[in-house]
Amino acid sequence: MSTQKSVRDPAGSVEASEALQLSQEKTEQLVEALNSDLAATYVLYFQVKKHHWNVEGAEFNDIHVFLGEAAEALEEGADEIAERVQALGGVPLARGAQLEEHAPIEPEDDDVYDIRTSLANDMAAYGEIIEQVREHVTLATQLGDHATAELLRQQLLEIEDHAHHLEHYLEDDTLVTEASMD
């Protein structure tokens, strides 16, 4: 339980920053979009981290390292998004329940799946996030917030790169033969 005596900025509030010269209406739209991106990023972060912890098999090391790097990139991206929400005058989402509620993707359940299924689930989530981030780049550009659009473009490059790597891991070409998989 919090021992704080007074709330400085209530959750869900937006007070446009005068320094950034964006209207209250534009700022509210941007904060809503960014909080959705933040939520999606954290939901995917925890899913990728779960797969990082649970990967097994002949290709364990490469996939384990890749998923660790992907999780780290997601965490860094989430931090950048949250800081932009705050700079715009909004309150970044910060609780697990809020993140799941506002994410455009469904978190994977708690069960552990084979790595091919896990990576396919990750790739599907990345795909949904890619679509949303592209829409939010367009929104930020249309609202005249070129800094947010640029931040999201940089995020998009990283997200697309990780999705591309996942696609390669899911290809049929492997050194592991069917006989050794039984």
Structurally, how many domains does the chain consist of?
1
* Residue 4, pLDDT score: 65
In a domain, residue 14? The reply is: no
Could you give the dihedral angle defined by the CA atoms of residues 139, 142, 143 and 145, in that order, rounded to the nearest 10 degrees? 80
Partner residues linked to 90 by β-bridges: 14
Walk along the chain (182 residues) in steps of 10 and give the mean pLDDT of each run: 63 67 89 97 97 91 95 97 95 90 91 94 97 98 97 97 94 65 51
Closest C-alpha to 82, from 34, 144, 18: 34
* Residue 13, pLDDT score: 56
- Domain span at residue 83 reads 21-171
Please report, for the domain that includes residue 130, its CATH number: 1.20.1260.10
SS3 90: strand
What size, in residues, is the chain?
Answer: 182
In a domain, residue 16? The reply is: no
**Residue 90 main-chain phi, psi, to 5 deg:** -100, 175
Q: Which two tokens stand for residue 124?
A: 């599907």
